Each structure stands twice: as C-alpha cells, then as structure tokens.
Amino acid sequence: MKLSNKLLLLPAAFAIALSSVSALFHETAPAFAQAAISLSLNKSQAAPGEEVKASGKYHPSAWVSLRVIDASGAVLVFDAVRSGDDGSYSFAFTVPTQVTGKLKVFAGSGSDVGSTEVEVAGGGGGPSAQPSAAPSAAPSTAPSAAPGTAPTPAPVQASPAPSAAASVPLSAGNGSLTYAPVLSGAGGRQAAAVTVGEDDIRKALSGGASRLSLSVQTRGADSVTVELTPSAARQWLSQSSAAFLDVSAEPGSYSLPATVLKSAVTGPAGLRVTIAKATERQKQDVSSAAQKQKFILLNASVDFKAGIVREGAEQPIDFGSTYVSRSIPLPDAVSPAVTAAVRYDEKSGKLVYVPAVFESRDGGMAAIIKRNGNSLYAIVTGSASFKDVPAAHWGRSDIELLAAKGIIGGSGSGMYGPARSVTRAESVALIVRGLGLEEKAGVSAFRDVAASAWYSGAVNAAYQAGLVNGQGDGSFHPGEPVSRQELAVLIHSALKYARGGETAASMKPLAVFADQASVASWAKEAVAEDAAAGILRGTPAGRFEPAGTASRAEMAAMLKRMLQTMKFIN
C-alpha cells in the first residue's frame, strides 16, 4: 500500500514514558515561561482621560498585542502593532473614564508576555461601582398650581451611568446575548470590548438552546474583543445543549465548537475571541501580495483570533484537524467560480487559498471561511487561462476555477499540461492546498524528499496530518506518476481528515466498474466511497483502470468534486 490514511502510532511503553515526563513538567513548570519581551510605561500613575505610553523590545518585525485590563478582568484597551527592525515597539492608550484603582497592562505574542501596572486615581468610580439610587425629590417650593392645571414636578437627580468597564447585556435569553461594548481608543484605532460573566451565560442557556450566540452592537470599531471569564467559559462548556459559540460583530463572525474547547479550556482559564479589521501595515502587506499574485481585493482584510486566557496572557487555541467557521460580510454579490478566500502568510508574504463558500446572508452575501487555525483573511477574485486548455477541452471549467482560486498553477509559459500524468508530489501538494493546510518546513520523514524541494512543505504537512505514509521503506518516490487507486486512497484520507476522522455513513458499496476485481484490496474501501460520493468516475467504457495513471486534467476534476463534497467550495 503506497498511500495510506493510517496514523503513525508510538509504542505503548514510549507513550507512557512521555506521559510521565509531561506530568513531571506540568507539576514543576511555572504558569508561563519567562517572557522574552520587555515592557515599560512612561508613568506609574495616570488620571482618567490621560494618555499613557507603553514601549519595549521583542523580536524584530513581529506582531505585538497590547491589552489593558481592570481589576474585574474586563478588557479596556486592545491594540496590535508590528515591532521595528531592531525589535522596538510602542503603543499609546487613553485611560478610560469611570475607572479607578490599578490597571494591568500586558504586551506580547503567544506565550511571550510582559506585564506591568498603572495606578488610576480621580476617576468616577471603580469597575464594580453600581449606579447609586436616585435621591428623593426635594419638596417643591413653587406655588400651588392653579385649579385645573397639572402641578410642576420637582426635578429628580439622574443616576450616574454604569461603569465603562461593565458588560451588561442588552438582552439575554433563547441562546442569545446582545451587548453594547466598552469603547476605547489607542494608536488611531477604536477598540470595542465585552466581558461575559457566568450569570449571563446561565440566563442565555436556561432554555436549552443548541447554540450560544453573542452579538456585539457597534459601528465603526476597528476591533471587537469578547472575553468569557473562567467561570463563564466553564458554565458554557459544562452544559450539553449549546454545541457552538457564535460571536458576531460588524467586521465578521466566528463559530467555535465546544468539542475542541472542552479539552483546551481547563482550570482557571477564560476564552477570548477577537475580530479585527486589518491595521494599516497589514493592509499594505495584503495589497502588495495581491498585486504580485494578480488578485483583486474585494474587501478589507479581517483578523480572526481565538485564545485561552490565563492570568491575562493569551495562548492560541489548537484546533487540531477540526475546521472552524468564520464569516466575512461582502459589500456586493460575487461569482463563487472566480472568488476565493485567502489568508496572508507572513513568512512568505503571499496570499494562500483557504476553503470557503459564498452564500446569501442577512440580505447580502458573506464568505464562510473554514480552517483549523487563526489568521488574517481577505476575499479576492482571480482569473486564469492556459494556452493548451482550449474552450472545447472537457476539463477547462474545472482547471480555470481552481486556478482562479489559487489552488493550481500552470507549468510555465502560460501552459498547464492537461494530458501529462500527475506525479505523487503534485497530487499531495494539490490535496494539501485544497484542504487549506499550512505547509511544514524542515527535514522530511522520507529519505528521498529533500528539504529544498518545492513540494517538501506539502509532503511534510500531509504526513503530519496522516494523509500519507510513503512506500514502507522510508521513501516517497515523489517524481513517480500516481496511480488512480493511489489517488483514490489519498482523496479518501482527505475526506476523513476533513470530517474529523469519520467515514461518511451514507456511502454505498463499491460502484460497479467492469474491472472492479482489479482494484487492490487496500484501495477497495477508498474507491467505493469516493465513487459513491461522485468524486471518482469511470472511463466511457465503464472501467476504473486502478493501475493506470491520472492526468493533470483528471486530477483537477477530482479535486474540484472532492472540495464540493466537503463543502469547501461552492
């Protein structure tokens, strides 16, 4: 069996040893590794409305996020900036009104976090301050009203506004929470923040809703951060009805599955979701990449992040092989055949295709992006044609659709080579791109895959995802043509990966090919399920030809049908 969907398993004894070592480190390690970032403020005390400057050093040209948190854990300020070539960075934020006491200031990226504090005095009440009751109206000293006229009411003193740090839902119930957020400004950007408490979650889910929806009502905010306190996160994850947390705001929406988060949110940990419009630097990076790759940008880029929060520091959630949905509203109708969702890859400076479908939503259109990771996303249109794929070619529409989305490319000089046999390396690279997997650099598990080869990152990603195992002798044979039954196994592995390891229950027995007896035993299940899904089709003579090779045109057709089956494209 040349291509397999089986995962590499560690010997039991070795796995137990690793578990013991892991437990030892978990017992002795501090909550966070020593921060590799410096952070200082230009003042230790500030008044509400006063500007505070934060600065420090980190890795050169790296993104650094800033968060200012009050004593209740509410996020008052959120911003992000890229450090300079020497690693230096700086922020400026304004201390919100109606806040007193100490504010914690965090700056960092991932597990590299620096923190400090600023004392706030002279504000209009701490975060936990409640509106005071209105005093009784003073007796009126005005003369009695004339008979038949209404008396003039005495003035009543208005209650003070609630604390700016408080997150009180506008509505709660039927699985839904709606908030008006705390707004703050820093670095020329407006940030909206909401902190969700345990009682709010309990009220929203009292009726046993199947989803928990958090809606933030704000217009014009550059970023929206929603944070569930540790008790609120536990309240959501401990119940059995709401399988998803949907966070929606003006820039977009994010849907998080409880199945993934139950194992990630442990102990005193909260959950933070940030949906942010691209910063000016990010806009420049995305625009430059789009021009180089001949894409047309259709919208402003949106940065989606979801992380686990412990003691104010955030660590990205590892979604594993679970595809998580996020949506971006579109200003106009689009043609799904030439429109794609892409993520900006900072390492390569390129826009990379990610699975997405385009559908009508709320009176307009939206891109529903599916990926198992956080990133900066944009929506683009593209077009492609090849000199050797004429209008009459049976595979032209499939080839041009995938090329417009950035999944496949030509062979140089405007040619595609539709009749040429696809190699094992090419087939794996196309499947990895179609799944939206991130390529993995480094030494390969296969002795004949050089780290410098163009396909090395894709083969490594496929191996780590359990899509391929090679030839059994430590080799992969990347330049050999892939057989049709090997390709069927690879596609079957991709289908199972996208479904979280499950096989579709609706699959029928092996389609009746005239040469079905020639299908190898290790490929029969894959051929049967791929054919039942409509991904594999026989020759005009009704044969499958399992040992035959697949052309690049046939590969494009099967890849398109696979992605449609997964609902990764329209």
Residue 28 has a pLDDT of 35
Report the pLDDT averaged over residues 39-60.
89
User: In sequence order, what are the beta bridge partners of 82?
Assistant: 63
Number of neighbouring beta carbons within 10 Å of residue 257: 16
Sheet strands (E) in 202-243: 211-216, 223-228
Alpha-carbon gap, residue 98 to 125, rounded angstroms: 5
Residue 505 has a pLDDT of 47
pLDDT for 81 beyond 80: no
- C-alpha separations of 495 from 304, 441, 455, 465, 563 in Å: 25, 24, 21, 12, 9
Residue 121 has a pLDDT of 80
N- to C-terminal Cα separation, the chain: 33
Question: CA geometry: angle at 55 spanning 52 and 59, to 5°?
Answer: 155
Residue 302 has a pLDDT of 95
Alpha-carbon gap, residue 357 to 472, rounded angstroms: 38
Pairing of strands 112-120, 45-46: parallel
> What is the sign of the dihedral through the CA atoms of 283, 286, 291 and 296?
negative
Cβ partners under 8 Å of residue 468, min gap 6: 3, 4, 428, 459, 462, 476, 490, 493
Residue 82 has a pLDDT of 75
Residue 537 has a pLDDT of 86
**Token reading at 520:** 């190898």
pLDDT for 293 beyond 90: yes
Pairing of strands 313-316, 169-173: unpaired
pLDDT for 1 beyond 60: no
| Out of 64-78, 126-140, 397-411, 444-458, least confident range | 126-140
Alpha-carbon gap, residue 563 to 494, rounded angstroms: 10
- Which residue reads 């000293």 in tokens? 141
Alpha-carbon gap, residue 489 to 529, rounded angstroms: 10
Alpha-carbon gap, residue 84 to 63, rounded angstroms: 10
Report the pLDDT averaged over residues 277-301.
92
Residue 35 has a pLDDT of 44
- Neighbouring C-alpha atoms within 13 Å toward the C-beta of 515: 17
- Amino acid at the residue 409: G
**400, 382 Cβ separation under 8 angstroms:** no
Question: What is the chain's length?
Answer: 570
pLDDT for 435 beyond 50: yes
Would you say the pTM of this structure is higher than 0.75? no
Alpha-carbon gap, residue 533 to 554, rounded angstroms: 16
Q: Residue 251: name the closest of 302, 191, 176, 324 by CA.
A: 302
> What is the sign of the dihedral through the CA atoms of 347, 351, 355 and 357?
positive
Report the pLDDT averaged over residues 269-285.
93
| Out of 82-96, 134-148, 174-188, 525-539, least confident range | 134-148
pLDDT digits (tens, 9 = 90+) for 537-570: 888 888 889 899 999 999 999 999 999 999 999 9
pLDDT for 65 beyond 50: yes
Number of neighbouring beta carbons within 10 Å of residue 149: 8
The whole-chain average pLDDT of the chain stands at 81
Domain regions of the chain by residue span? 167-381, 421-565
pLDDT for 458 beyond 60: yes
| Out of 262-271, 487-496, 542-551, least confident range | 262-271
Q: b or e along 372-390 (b: 16 or more beta carbons within 10 Å of the residue's beta carbon)?
A: bbbbbbbbbbbebebeebe
User: Crossing angle, helix 424-435 and helix 456-464, to 10 degrees?
Assistant: 60
| Out of 42-56, 95-109, 138-152, least confident range | 138-152
| Confidence grade of residue 508 (pLDDT, cut at 50, 70, 90) | low
Tell me which H or E stretch contains 558: helix 552-565
| Out of 87-101, 132-146, 509-523, least confident range | 132-146
pLDDT digits (tens, 9 = 90+) for 192-214: 899 999 999 999 998 888 999 99
pLDDT for 186 beyond 80: no
**Token reading at 417:** 């080579």
User: Phi-psi category of 51—alpha, beta or left, where left has phi over 0 and alpha has psi -120 to 50?
Assistant: beta
C-alpha torsion 434→436→440→444, nearest 10: -30
pLDDT digits (tens, 9 = 90+) for 471-480: 778 889 999 9
Residue 516 has a pLDDT of 85
Residue 32 has a pLDDT of 32
| Confidence grade of residue 3 (pLDDT, cut at 50, 70, 90) | very low
pLDDT for 20 beyond 70: no
Share of the chain above pLDDT 90, in %: 45
**403, 426 Cβ separation under 8 angstroms:** no
Please, where are the H alpha helices in 216-353?
A: 230-238, 258-264, 280-292
Report the pLDDT averaged over residues 300-312.
90
Residue 111 has a pLDDT of 63
3-state secondary structure of 32: coil
Residue 334 has a pLDDT of 87
- Which residue reads 């998803």 in tokens? 244
* Residue 33 or residue 489, greater confidence: 489
Residue 110 has a pLDDT of 62
Alpha-carbon gap, residue 152 to 545, rounded angstroms: 95
Report the pLDDT averaged over residues 424-449.
92
Cβ partners under 8 Å of residue 552, min gap 6: 416, 417, 418, 419, 420, 421, 422, 426
Residue 455 has a pLDDT of 93
Dmax over Cα atoms in the chain, in whole Å? 107
Q: Residue 316: name the closest of 325, 326, 324, 305 by CA.
A: 305
Alpha-carbon gap, residue 267 to 77, rounded angstroms: 25
Residue 133 has a pLDDT of 37
**274, 224 Cβ separation under 8 angstroms:** yes
**Token reading at 190:** 């407006």
* Residue 101 or residue 302, greater confidence: 302
Q: Which CATH number applies to 167-381?
A: 2.60.220
**DSSP string of 494-518, one letter each residue:** HHHHHTTSPPPTTPPSPP--TTGGG
Give the chain's count of helices (H) and strands (E): 11, 26
- C-alpha separations of 490 from 46, 81, 149, 516 in Å: 61, 41, 87, 18
